[in-house]
Amino acid sequence: MPEMHFRVRWPDQSTTLCYSPSSSIRDNLRLAHPYPVAEFVETSRAALEYASERVAQKYGYGCGHALGQIREIEAQAKPFLGGDGHVVVESFE
């Protein structure tokens, strides 16, 4: 279950390097797809919760870093919610 990072571009063109404890994030987020902000938050939350559950199945406890990443994504998305901007996943690293 290799951990990985994914780089996202926000509506203001800033970028963030995000963390996932599992490569399963690739199954849930598409590269270069323009996600409405609320959809990106929901999709990434579900994907990171799933990744944390996979860690729990293997090691007996979930991934706190994944849960922290969810909070960071929600905080970064807040200024853009309600607008017509999009979030794009630029890369998996």
In the block, residue with structure tokens 């990171």: 48
> What is the number of domains present in the chain?
1
- CA-nearest of 62, 61, 60 to 52 is 62
* CA dihedral over 62, 16, 42, 34, signed as positive or negative: negative
- For residue 66, the enclosing domain spans 4-92
Q: What are phi and psi of 20, to 5 degrees?
A: -135, 135
Q: Is the pLDDT of residue 63 over 80?
A: yes
Q: What is the mean pLDDT of residues 2-28?
A: 95
In the block, residue with structure tokens 């200024």: 79
Q: Is the pLDDT of residue 45 over 80?
A: yes
- d(CA 92, CA 23) in angstroms, rounded, equals 9
Q: Is the pTM of this model over 0.85?
A: yes
